[in-house]
């Protein structure tokens, strides 16, 4: 009975796509991915595999997320992603092209989501060095700041500019993708939640089936105590991502043991004026190389260090334990824009 209700929801979302999105069947997806050939596999997620392929023969390449229907909760994540993305549009959100709800050649349920293809991969790939520029360089301080602003703009749109507030619930570098010109876009809304006025009034979950939303290391502490997803929870995940972006260190690294965490490590460095010990070495190696349109160095190394201090301070303010005491995303945007102005207009 429960599965039938979920299928009804999928049908409803499929109907809502008519007139806005082209309809595709299992066969379209099979042809586009060349029978799900491994050479077209570009990613793996919690609920399925992502392939590249052309839905239209002469059209552009797309990213096609094929949901693993054998995984518990897979249909639920498909419905959540459809629900979150069908009516939202922003330059810093990965664009959903269409959704497929069909059956395969064995008459088994088959669902997939088709997105624009982000040619420069995930932010995680850039932070870990799996991806670099043609000249071998990683992300510069300016590129990292631009990524931080892009993501903050996306979250601000979801929290403050949508008809119904959307909480992403799984913000992390692996769910932030980069396009041809290195514009960052937030992806993967499988755990997202549309908040109603009722949700805002009652933040504590009383359900016996409450499940923790998010990824280890990025989940805010209040979720572990039973509180429902909230905008403040997204801000916490954003803060951890911001710290990771500028330190090059992830929150689940083995070195963070015995009570030490990414947040506490950065906090100690800020308190003792030793930020140089935590900033990503790739940033340090390229300091003093920010050029103006004339090709001249336009930002002093001292100013770059001041900006890095301010950026890390924003990350710490986003990750305080108390959800009520955290910055809201509008304040985050304001602070980062001010820092960006300092560097770009030097």
Catalytic residue list: 170
Contact 97, 115 (CB under 8 A): yes
Q: What are phi and psi of 18, to 5 degrees?
A: -60, 135
Q: Which residues contact 258 (CB under 8 A, 6 or more apart)?
A: none
Question: Are the C-beta atoms of 225 and 205 separated by less than 8 Å?
Answer: no
d(CA 27, CA 323): 47
- Show Cβ contacts of residue 307 under 8 Å, excluding neighbours closer than 6 positions: 141, 145, 339, 342, 343
Tokens encoding 296: 């001249």
Continuous H helices in the chain: 2-17, 26-32, 74-85, 123-127, 141-156, 197-201, 231-247, 262-271, 281-285, 301-318, 329-344
Residue 122 gets which letter from DSSP? B
Q: How many helices (H) and strands (E) does the chain have?
A: 11, 9
Q: Of 286, 317, 31, 297, which Cα lies nearest the Cα of 144?
A: 286
């Amino acid at each position: 009975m429960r599965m039938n209700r979920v299928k009804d929801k999928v049908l409803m979302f499929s109907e809502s796509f008519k007139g806005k999105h082209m309809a595709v069947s299992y066969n379209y997806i099979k042809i586009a991915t060349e029978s799900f050939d491994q050479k077209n596999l570009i990613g793996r997620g919690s609920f399925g595999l992502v392939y590249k392929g052309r839905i239209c023969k002469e059209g552009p390449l797309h990213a096609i997320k094929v949901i693993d229907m054998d995984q518990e909760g897979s249909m639920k994540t498909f419905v959540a992603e459809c629900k979150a993305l069908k009516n939202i549009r922003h330059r810093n959100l990965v664009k959903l092209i269409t959704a497929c709800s069909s059956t395969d050649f064995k008459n088994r349920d088959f669902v997939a989501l088709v997105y624009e293809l982000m040619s420069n991969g995930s932010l995680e790939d850039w932070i870990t060095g799996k991806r670099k520029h043609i000249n071998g360089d990683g992300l510069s301080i300016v590129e990292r700041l631009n990524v931080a602003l892009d993501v903050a703009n996306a979250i601000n749109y979801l929290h403050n500019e949508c008809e119904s507030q959307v909480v992403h619930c799984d913000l992390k570098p692996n769910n932030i993708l980069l396009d041809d010109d290195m514009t960052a876009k937030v992806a993967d809304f499988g755990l997202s939640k549309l908040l109603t006025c009722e949700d805002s009034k009652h933040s504590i979950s009383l359900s016996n089936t409450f499940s923790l939303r998010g990824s280890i290391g990025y989940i805010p502490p209040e979720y572990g105590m039973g509180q429902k997803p909230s905008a403040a929870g997204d801000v916490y995940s954003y803060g951890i991502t911001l710290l990771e972006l500028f330190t090059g260190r992830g929150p689940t690294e083995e070195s963070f043991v015995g009570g030490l965490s990414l947040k506490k490590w950065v906090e100690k460095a800020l308190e003792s004026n030793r930020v140089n010990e935590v900033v990503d070495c790739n940033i340090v190696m390229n300091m003093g190389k920010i050029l103006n349109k004339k090709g001249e160095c336009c930002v002093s190394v001292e100013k770059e260090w001041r900006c890095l201090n301010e950026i890390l301070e924003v990350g710490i303010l986003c990750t305080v334990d108390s959800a009520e005491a955290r910055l809201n995303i509008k304040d985050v945007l304001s602070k980062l824009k001010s820092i960006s102005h300092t560097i770009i207009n030097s």
